[in-house]
Copies of this chain bind each other. A is one copy, B any other.
Amino acid sequence: MVDRLTIVMPIFDRMTQLDFTGPHQFLSRIPNAKVLAASVNAEPVTADGLTFGSLEDLEAIDRCDILCVPGGSGCFAAIENGRYMDEIRRLAGSSRYVTSVCSGSLILGAAGLLRGKRAACHWAFRDMLPLFGAIPDDARVVRDGRIITGGGVTAGIDFALVMIAELAGREVAEAVQLNLEYAPEPPFGSGRPETAAPGIRDAVFARIAAAAPDGQAIVERAAADLMAAVVATVQ
């Protein structure tokens, strides 16, 4: 049994829903932990055709033990949403662990939380991390101090098991894994860009880029703002 843990997942429109629902399913099975799904103004969040309601108001949450930020093509709009980013920075300030899944690490980066840190990201967006001073790592789960990040989408499940072992011990993690029958057998081997057929890889990359046409510009702008803030602090 672990002490009562509060895990906050700040969600947003056009996230990739499985970035959120995958880890949520696993983390919510930790005995004595509560996982809060939260949004700005407690507004319902729509993602991949699903609508998530009954959310917590992000600004009303005091503090948390684990902050876990999902990704998806909506992450760029989230980066440009000042109220959302203020809460990411505020909650990260007091959180024992600051974590993300998929391109959620770009949000952490834009919040100034990844400078000099190794971090994971969805493979198609990993090259953007250095703009925020982060060191991209292609591992499925990457730990650098209190920053723990997962790779793209389904990596959020591996990430969650690593988190559960860290928070509640390996036996609890193994019990949750068995409960959710996580003994994956992918029928194909194309889950990484290195193992996918080049034609498929290029087509998927093009489709992902087209879903977030302003992503690169937003990240560059956020990186410039971050640099300006750092310079202002130093002066």
Cβ-closest chain B residue relative to A152 = B181
Partner of A51 from the list B25, B52, B171 (CB cut-off 8 Å) is B52
Q: Does A214 contact B (CB under 8 A)?
A: no
User: Is A157 within 8 A of B183, CB to CB?
Assistant: no
In the complex, chain B residues whose CB is within 8 Å of the CB of A34: 49
Inter-chain contact B48/A53, CB cutoff 8 Å: no
Bound CA span A191–B181, Å: 5
- Is A234 among interface residues, defined by CB-CB distance under 8 A? no
Q: Which of A20-63 contact B (CB under 8 A)?
A: 21-22, 24-25, 28, 34-35, 37, 44, 46, 48-54
Task: Please name the residue on chain B nearest to A159 by beta carbon.
Answer: B187
User: Are B49's CB and A52's CB within 8 A?
Assistant: no
Copies of the polypeptide in the assembly: 2
Q: Is A5 an interface residue (CB 8 A)?
A: no
Asked whether A230 is an interface residue with its Cβ less than 8 Å from the other chain, the reply is no
Contact of A174 (CB < 8 Å), options: B37, B46, B173, B200: B200
Note all chain B residues with C-beta closer than 8 A to A140: 183, 185
From B152, B180, B183, give the contact of A195 (CB < 8 A).
B183
In the docked arrangement, what's the CA distance between A204 and B18, Å? 24
Asked if A175 is at the interface (CB within 8 A of a chain B CB), the reply is: yes
* Complex interface: chain B residues within 8 A of A48 (CB): 24-25, 28
The B-contacting residues of A in range 166-215, CB under 8 angstroms, are 170-171, 173-175, 177-193, 195-197, 200-201, 203-204, 207-208
> A-B pairs with the 4 shortest C-beta distances?
A152-B181, A183-B191, A51-B54, A174-B190
Listed by A's residue number, 5 A-B pairs whose Cβ atoms lie within 8 Å are A25-B48, A51-B52, A152-B181, A154-B183, A158-B186
Q: With A37-B49, A44-B53, A161-B188 given, can you name 13 additional A-B contacts, CB distance below 8 Å?
A: A21-B21, A21-B50, A25-B48, A37-B50, A51-B54, A52-B52, A153-B182, A158-B187, A175-B190, A175-B203, A178-B201, A183-B189, A184-B184
Q: A: which residues have CB within 8 A of B?
A: 16-18, 21-22, 24-25, 28, 34-35, 37, 44, 46, 48-54, 102, 122-123, 140-141, 151-155, 157-158, 161-162, 165, 170-171, 173-175, 177-193, 195-197, 200-201, 203-204, 207-208
